[in-house]
Amino acid sequence: MTAIPSAPPRRRLSLTWLGIVPFAAFALLFLILPTMNIVLGAFRNAAGEVTFDNIRGLFTPSILNSYWISIKISVASSLLGCVIGFGMAAAVVLGGLPRWIRSPVLTFSGVASNFAGVPLAFAFMATIGPRGLLTLWLMDQFGINLRAEGFTILSFWGLTITYVFFQIPLMILIITPALDGLKREWKEAANILGASGPQFWRMVALPILFPSLLGTFALLFANAFGAVATAYALTGSSMSIVPILLFAQIRGDVLQDPHLGYALAFGMIVVTGIANGIYIWLRVRSERWLK
């Protein structure tokens, strides 16, 4: 007598998937759909017809100059953030400092990396602005006039220094796990073979950390390139960088051209997408060594 085969068990949708529903809805409503609207709007005119005029408009001298200024500010702030942030993270993780220092540094970094917009602009204006605390102190104590020396907060270096405030803590947060991944055995093996501290860093540690460092630089670049609230609150329309030009095209009364604004935003998406893609690729490569 042959046994009747039992019916295969019916698959039930696990209720654990409900946990990601809020995230999926948030990403769809505030990331995916707006991005698709921007991309489609970049290739349409006011009548809704398909056109490449908006993309061709990106290659006018004024817009290209805005992209170039934004790229320079992003590169400068990212380099400073990487160098200073790496030094601070290395001092906390590998420098022999008391263990209790690590937690406050990482906590402050988590807060400072998200401190931007109007509060950050006001803080720097009150510190190194024309009548800022540091500006007046340097004048009173040392006779140094920052404005006479050519420095103003409404300039390339003024905006770069402001961006560095949130670039450094972001660097600390990202590079700390990579520093934790450096195995003690590598250091001990280098010492046994007679390598000095600088030789260990030059020939072992930095080559291993290089993908992480380069990837973090790409992420910091994307972070600075897309910042708009801080730049607009600090400089208004006095600096022609891409986020401010985009704001003027979308919301301005004189320069209003929403579809050119969509094209500007599309260009920013391409630049930041490339930077984030480089970061992800290099992150994967670095994790192979640090596992």
Average pLDDT over residues 208-214: 85
Q: Which residues of 117-155 are buried (b: 16+ CB within 10 A; e: fewer)?
A: beebbeebbeebbeebeebeebeeeeeeebeeeeebbee
Residue 101 neighbours by CB distance under 10 Å: 12
**Residue 81: its pLDDT value, please?**
94
Output the CA torsion sign for 87, 91, 93, 99.
negative
Residue 84 confidence (pLDDT): 94
Could you tell me how far CA 186 lies from the centroid of its own chain?
31
DSSP 172-183: HHHHHHHHHTS-
Of 137-141, 255-259, 280-284, 286-290, the least confident: 286-290
The candidate with the shortest Cα–Cα distance to 224, out of 280, 282, 156, 289, is 156
Looking at domain 32-290, its CATH architecture is Orthogonal Bundle (1.10)
* The pLDDT value given to residue 76: 94
Per residue in 186-199, pLDDT tens?
888 888 888 887 88
pLDDT, one tens digit per residue, over 35-59 is 898 888 889 887 778 888 888 888 8
285, burial (CB in 10 Å: exposed 0-12, middle 13-18, buried 19+): middle
Tally of helices (H runs) and strands (E runs) in the chain: 14, 0
Q: In 3D, which of 41, 25, 79, 29 has the Cα closest to residue 217?
A: 79
The Cβ-side half-sphere exposure at 212, using a 13 Å CA radius, reads 23
Pinpoint the alpha helices (H) of 129-205. 133-142, 156-180, 184-192, 197-200
pLDDT value of residue 85: 93
Query: What are the structure tokens assigned to 180, written together?
Result: 């934790």
Please state the domain extents for the chain: 32-290
**7-11, 28-32, 79-83, 279-283, range with the lowest pLDDT:** 7-11
Per the structure block, which two tokens stand in for 55? 């993309």
For residue 44, the SS3 value is strand
Predicted pLDDT of residue 74: 92
Side chain identity at 34, as an amino acid letter?
P
pLDDT of residue 13: 61
φ and ψ at 44, to 5 degrees?
Answer: -130, 155
Q: Which residues, at least 6 apart from 256, have a Cβ–Cβ distance to it below 8 Å?
A: 248, 249, 250
**Are the CB atoms for 182 and 86 separated by under 8 Å?**
no
Cα gap 205→199, rounded to integer Å: 9
pTM for the full predicted model: 0.82
Per-residue model confidence as pLDDT tens digits over 159-172:
899 999 999 999 99
Choice among 11-20, 82-91, 212-221 with the minimum mean pLDDT: 11-20
Among 61, 69, 28, 52, which Cα is nearest to 262's?
52
Q: How many CA atoms lie within 13 A of 11 on its CB side?
A: 2
Least Cα distance to 205 among 193, 213, 217 occurs for 213
pLDDT digit string (tens) for 106-135?
999 988 888 877 888 888 888 888 888 888
